[in-house]
Chains A and B, each alone.
Chain A
């Protein structure tokens, strides 16, 4: 008797709760990709010449890759070819006038974020969190700016940073993820619309959690945001991002780039709860989440920690990585990825050890249900100068039902013999025994399942800041709701 078989089916059929759209008047770029569109976006944002030139270089590089059919094919994901000429690269709610304050933001948009549980009105703000809200291609509002400014912290939309802090953006943009890095990074660099910019000055411990919420609303449009976080010497910042999108029959492309820079003794903690629309039970619709995230520990004893909970998207292609350049620098990757129904996740990390006595930790938890396919793909690279480098990798897969799949693809490249590498992997099922045990103590089958799954994710959840841990837990519960019984 396979009680979990039934579970898996219903689990896969779980409804997406963020699938509604907001009726707003839109302004869009002409559909398709061309030099004119890139110029249009830059002009629309009133960008300086250097920015446009960078975009155009990226655009030309992308066109070359496209012509040479060099979109990545190595990931264990399958999708029909993407028609880059059918995508709208820039969509924004039509501004009624120049925005001076939140009062002037469209009521519908404010309500959208309200409905998503994202507090952007100052009086309703979560204590201790500053929020940047991105709706389609533009940042709607960034809260708590004054509090942050007192500490010299800059937290703004990317567009604003280009205008207000061009020297910082120009210096660091593309320094960790150059536009030549990969296919989607090139595309993003050409057409990126908005995103968040964070600058923490030397010695400052950012007094608030910084958070960005990304919402795709418009049909036929992609979201191409960029985030750049710079933590100067001995500073600290914790940054959180969340995402959702309406339910649509066609696939939508989300190709973001995130760059983190941690100078000597600086620490960046970057957390993601990704819940893009995953498509329906048969795999129709859903967001293609093709994202390049990388951080550079530039100075000695710098630390970058990625924590991600990936529950949404039709396809996730994402490898938040760390370049461990400074001696004794530390890179961490904690991940929970859920693939249910027809979702495909190919995610993992790259830890590139360059400096001496650098340390990296990788904890990956993959959950597969329904016909979901979950792949951990990770690279640990120890370069010749990285004497005394250490890595610990743990990849655990949890299978629910008989049709789901889990794969682990660890790559290891050691060019310094003093390195110490440890790898552990496990694959398990939610066993009927465990469920029976819980039910014998009075728990319903559904609660038993979520208890066991939450336990499986424990090491990752406990890395998240409090509010986000609660949100991640809730999201997993919601995804499990009605799955059993």
Chain B
């Protein structure tokens, strides 16, 4: 599904990713761990094509397409989703209207008819109920006045509606207390399917106790310094990142 080879990327002329290799198959959940500044979020942004993140070498293919050649919105329409670490507010734009616009773009890209207001409302209602998001919240302006937990849940709701093939969750647990985190994690778990792949970008181990990964990668200084199975996350939790940084030089 996702094949990343020798990926180098720079932000403001500073190289942040220095040769990342990653293969994600359908249905797999991968965790990308690493200390602050190791390039975790950069990797997420580069894969999604955020302006300002310049790929200097390497390749990435998504479902057989050259991912790096596609504009941001085409990547999204092809089934790549990013749950933002700190999703921004859009004043005056209702969440449901925002989501319908995105949903219809995805449908158009798949060659499907656009959903009308009524059909979409029905769909949104079902998904919102499933994820414990109130109808009132879907009518509020995008992320405006939302608590940290509501914002994260709103991201997962968007994921549920857009039904991506690969979802990157950037620090899905940041800023949440244990109960809120568990709630968000459970919401994510309901969206795991045998086809859908997940990429969990996280600093801490704790969320991985709820969203259990198939593979764990540790990013240090823009490169994967170590990889392992789900139990590897526990080892990291116990030993910290420093030994890996030293090993990587």
Contacts and interface: CB of A to CB of B under 8 A. Distances in A.
Contact of A441 (B50, B51, B102): B102
Given A442-B76, A455-B141, A434 B101 contact: no
A447 B88 contact: no
A1 B82 CA distance: 21
Given A437-B84, A442-B162, A432 B92 contact: no
Contacts of A432: 51-52
Contacts, number: 77
Contacts of A443: 73, 101-102, 105
Contacts of B4: none
A143 B103 CA distance: 43
A-side interface mostly: helix
Interface string A417-445: 00000000000000111101111111111
Interface in B76-90: 76-77, 81-82, 84, 87-88, 90
A125 to B, nearest CB: 27
B99 A441 contact: yes
Interface stretch (A87-95, A259-267, A456-464, A475-483): A456-464
* Central interface residue in A432, A440, A444, by most chain B CB within 10 Å: A440
A451 B51 contact: no
B101 A447 contact: yes
Contact of A455 (B73, B81, B90): B90
B76 A440 contact: yes
Contact of B76 (A1, A441, A451): A441
A438 B76 CA distance: 10
Contact of B106 (A431, A442, A459): A442
* Central interface residue in A441, A444, A455, by most chain B CB within 10 Å: A441
A77 interface: no
Contacts of B162: 441-442
A442 B162 CA distance: 9
Contact of B72 (A439, A447, A451, A452): A439
Contacts of B73: 439-440, 442-445
B51 to A, nearest CB: 4
A457 B90 CA distance: 12
Nearest to A426: B91
Given A436-B50, A451-B98, A456 B87 contact: no
B105 A442 contact: yes
B48 interface: yes
B109 interface: yes
* Central interface residue in A1, A436, A451, A458, by most chain B CB within 10 Å: A436
A3 interface: yes
A292 B103 CA distance: 46
B102 A431 contact: no
B105 A456 contact: no
A454 interface: yes
B158 interface: yes
B77 A457 contact: no
A1 B51 CA distance: 6
Contacts of A431: 88
A433 B90 CA distance: 10
Contacts of B72: 436, 439-440
* Central interface residue in B88, B92, B103, by most chain A CB within 10 Å: B92
Contacts of A439: 71-73, 76
Interface in B156-170: 158, 162
A454 B105 CA distance: 19
B225 interface: no
B93 interface: yes
A1 B11 CA distance: 11
Nearest to B87: A437
A440 B105 contact: no
Given A1-B51, A441-B98, A441-B162, A434 B90 contact: yes
A357 B51 CA distance: 53
Interface in A1-30: 1, 3
B92 A455 contact: yes
A472 to B, nearest CB: 14
Contacts of A436: 50-51, 72
A440 B88 CA distance: 12
Nearest to B54: A1
Contacts of A1: 51-52
A292 to B, nearest CB: 31
A326 B82 CA distance: 56
Contact of B92 (A442, A444, A454): A454
Interface of A: 1, 3, 431-434, 436-445, 447, 451-452, 454-459
16 contacts: A432-B51, A437-B90, A438-B90, A438-B98, A439-B72, A440-B81, A440-B82, A440-B84, A441-B98, A442-B102, A442-B103, A442-B106, A444-B73, A444-B105, A451-B101, A456-B91
Given A438-B102, A441-B162, 7 more contacts: A434-B88, A436-B50, A440-B48, A441-B102, A442-B105, A443-B105, A454-B92
Interface of B: 48, 50-52, 71-73, 76-77, 81-82, 84, 87-88, 90-93, 98-99, 101-103, 105-106, 109, 141, 158, 162
Nearest 6 pairs of A and B residues by beta carbon: A455-B92, A458-B92, A441-B102, A442-B105, A455-B93, A439-B72
